[in-house]
Amino acid sequence: MRIYAAVGALLGWFALALQLYLMLVQSPAPERLGTVITFFSFFTILTNILAASVFAAVAFHPKHGWGKWLCRPSVQAATAVYIAIVGMVYQLLLRQLWNPQGAQWVADVLLHSMVPVGYVAYWLMFAPRAGLSEPRRAREHLARGCRPCGQRRSGEYAFLFPARAIRRGQRLTARA
């Protein structure tokens, strides 16, 4: 497991460094700060930083400082959800919009395919599950949130629209 995580960390950090380098090389010198800000504004980049950090924590520092937090089951599960979203959105919606070549293709494949698939596989095979809520409760929450608008109970999710809820005299807390 630690070797798998170490390889995932190395691939993740390499892909992030490569993508940043490629973005910096393409931008003119006066705009480099803006390029770095743009780099850190992408959900893909932030999620890959999180996945690479979890991999690194599992491989190298599972019981120290940030590593202890990153190794928590809830953090690892959330990271799996985020990185799965990155992979699915890219593969289903964005992949056909461009055709990267050379080093950009390598960065693209690593950030949008290899790290997402590798992290989800890691989570399915190795990640701890202690303390995560049971699947039945997750299904109930999803089902409750997927009701058609006309079928929701009065006041449910009123906290999302506080002004409307106050006018109607509803409580501002979500009901379980």
Instruction: Taking residues 140-162, report their average pLDDT.
Output: 50
- Ranking 39-43, 135-139, 152-156 by mean pLDDT, the lowest is 152-156
pLDDT of residue 164 exceeding 80, the answer is no
pLDDT of residue 50 exceeding 90, the answer is yes
Span 73-129, pLDDT tens digits = 989 999 999 999 999 999 999 999 989 999 999 999 999 999 999 999 999 999 888
Please state, in angstroms and rounded to a whole number, the distance separating the CA atoms of residues 110 and 94. Answer: 15
pLDDT value, residue 159: 47
Q: What is the largest CA-CA distance in the chain?
A: 60
Query: Residue 136: which pLDDT band, with cuts at 50, 70 and 90?
Result: low
Rounded to the nearest 5 degrees, what angle is found at the Cα of 42, between the Cα atoms of 37 and 43?
140
pLDDT value, residue 163: 54
The kind and range of the H/E element at 23 are: helix 2-26
Please state, in angstroms and rounded to a whole number, the distance separating the CA atoms of residues 128 and 143. Answer: 26
pLDDT value, residue 151: 47
Q: Coil, strand, or helix at residue 51?
A: helix
Span 109-122, pLDDT tens digits = 999 999 999 999 99
- 135-158: buried (b, 16+ CB within 10 Å) or exposed (e) per residue? eeeeeeeeeeeeeeeeeeeebbeb
